[in-house]
A and B are shown apart, each in its own frame.
Chain A
């Protein structure tokens, strides 16, 4: 893959970067105008409160952190496979004594609840448009309704069958017409590929019902700290997977992959934000690395639009640009894969 375009962009920013480096060389904490804030700006409706709860618990936590040294984190490590992907049941059952970690878990529970209620509200707009047979309104509501889902995808992994019901692709079935193919992408197919919503109504009803199941189940979920660390990484792995957003496989009829992409990044960022106070204690260098990778990635995504202004069709993202995104995602994923161990989790 060629990276010529990327080179030029990087080159143009070199001067700025050098200046930033100079600053950071003396104070590595200085860079933390991290972009969870800009996420809020561009998406006032849904993610703002989640991020706030993150920083709120963060500042309380700072105080608590003083007398709570790193010793906690070392103690309770047992031999485990260390598999970084896939949230296992042991991880769900995990508990921790570190109050900062507990704060993060509590904060995430709030975040998840907020995302789920946004998801239900935005999906109602979407489903109503489908039932009205209003193609244009459906097109507008589709990527919006998916954002909360994409932000909390790690949670979906904890609820049986939900992913297959609401987010499967036609590849898992006998083609798009297979009646067992349900969820967002089924309606996406009716909307963009068929241009006809006459038969889509029942799938909109079904989607809403499935999301209600998600909402009900999520309330009872036992969230272990590993869900947070591994979740932050998985959201990024998800983007880069060969059948993920980077390849444009996800929203193949609509080309709205960048909405999902951005939402995955936001979901991961929100997790890191919640874990920031404890990570600040355990491995501040890693925190800086992760946060600046997010900055870089968000800078790259900005070129393609925003939730408010809309994102370009994924076809418009060139091979070179995908290569640049892949490289940033790769670096970020390597860093995120260290979160779990850095926090002393199993």
Chain B
């Protein structure tokens, strides 16, 4: 009974979505490893959205965006059939959204099918949506234990994690939205929540932003974080297929669950910064903690942001995060974070920080290895993780298939 209503509802939501033009957003999933956003312009006059279908979820390798949102959600479904419905509806909802095609115009006796926030017809907004599966999706509810990606686990506690709470962590799914405006991000999340209402329940969410440099180039940070430092200087080159294959995409031999090939592991950490304390900290101390100069982003003692760091010891954040020692290249991760600012806490201290998001081929070799090296770093005094989660970002559904389909076959 429960589920029937939801199922019906989802079906009608799905049908409505299908009524809009979904076809246009199917990227050619042929040979190209990484969908090229430029060639996949789907609609609208603003920057193109990122298609949902392709070899990989395009939001993973999309350039840094000025607005974003990450949410952990739980699924309410009473059977694997229902779960399949929910995921299918979610996929359709995302496809309609990123297609940039206008939502069907309904009679005025109905509520409109879209939020209207982006005007009619909606313009391109550089929107991408990444869906991830949490470890709990593979618990005993849906009989999916055998399909669990080999390395997926519930995010454990790390050294500085005493404020991390389950209610702002984990989830059956993660949804990560990036776009070029706060409105487009809000629109995207509301559309998705509405079309899956009653079946997907948000556990936690965090909205963020980036003040982007005018032109993003590999080797230079796209933005600064709220400690005032350039963030994203030393990051993976998303245009380099080999790098992506080596460090981000799960390969065909990585996992006996074949459906994981072309996916990636997502680590999310909502990390508060003690910004009042930071702003009272000597510049030399700040730069020593990070391992880079604040103004230029250059490694300590060097001039240019793109200079290779030379480490005297392995104390700074960047030296610990990437010691550039033999073997440490297998710990490289793709970072795609957002800044957040959420008012102030009960003690009148500002609640600001970083929504850290990283993608990696292996959780163990990627995020976990890096975080273990960071455990105990001096920067911990200035930051407190609050929540987050580990997720597996599956490859997008094949043409004609629904999101999640490979899980059930």
Contact = CB atoms under 8 A, between A and B. Distances in A.
Interface of A: 1-3, 6-7, 10-11, 13-14, 16-18, 20-21, 24, 28, 31, 77-82, 84, 285-286, 288-293, 295-296, 299, 323-324, 326-328, 330-335, 337-338, 340-346
Contacts of A81: 108
B5 A335 contact: yes
Contacts of A289: 4-5, 8-9, 12
A17 B2 contact: yes
B401 interface: no
B interface, size bucket:
35 or more
Contact of A77 (B5, B74, B109, B140): B109
Given A13-B78, A17-B1, A340-B110, A331 B6 contact: yes
Interface in B254-280: none
B6 A285 contact: no
Given A82-B110, A324-B76, A341-B110, 17 more contacts: A1-B201, A3-B74, A31-B1, A31-B4, A77-B107, A77-B108, A78-B108, A81-B108, A82-B108, A289-B4, A289-B5, A293-B6, A293-B9, A296-B5, A330-B197, A338-B12, A346-B109
Contact of A288 (B4, B106, B108, B202): B4
A296 B109 contact: no
Interface in B71-85: 74, 76-79, 81-82
6 smallest A-B Cβ distances: which pairs?
A: A331-B198, A341-B110, A292-B5, A289-B8, A293-B5, A341-B109
B201 A10 contact: no
Q: Is the interface of B mostly helix, strand, loop or mixed?
A: mixed
Given A289-B8, A334-B194, A296 B76 contact: no
Interface of B: 1-9, 11-13, 74, 76-79, 81-82, 106-112, 140-141, 166-167, 194, 197-199, 201-203
B9 A335 contact: yes
Given A10-B76, A11-B78, A80 B2 contact: no
Nearest to A3: B74
B345 to A, nearest CB: 20
Instruction: Point out which of A21, A77, A331, A344 has the most chain B C-beta atoms below 10 A from its C-beta.
Output: A331
A102 to B, nearest CB: 17
Nearest to A283: B12
A29 to B, nearest CB: 12
B4 A24 contact: yes
A7 to B, nearest CB: 6
Contacts of A335: 5, 9
A292 B8 contact: yes
A81 B140 CA distance: 46
Contacts of B166: 2
A17 B79 contact: yes
Contacts of A342: 110
Contact of B167 (A1, A344, A345): A1
B135 to A, nearest CB: 14
Contacts of A84: 111
A258 B332 CA distance: 54
B5 A295 contact: yes
B112 A82 contact: yes
Contacts of B12: 285-286, 289, 338
Contacts of A343: 109
B4 to A, nearest CB: 4
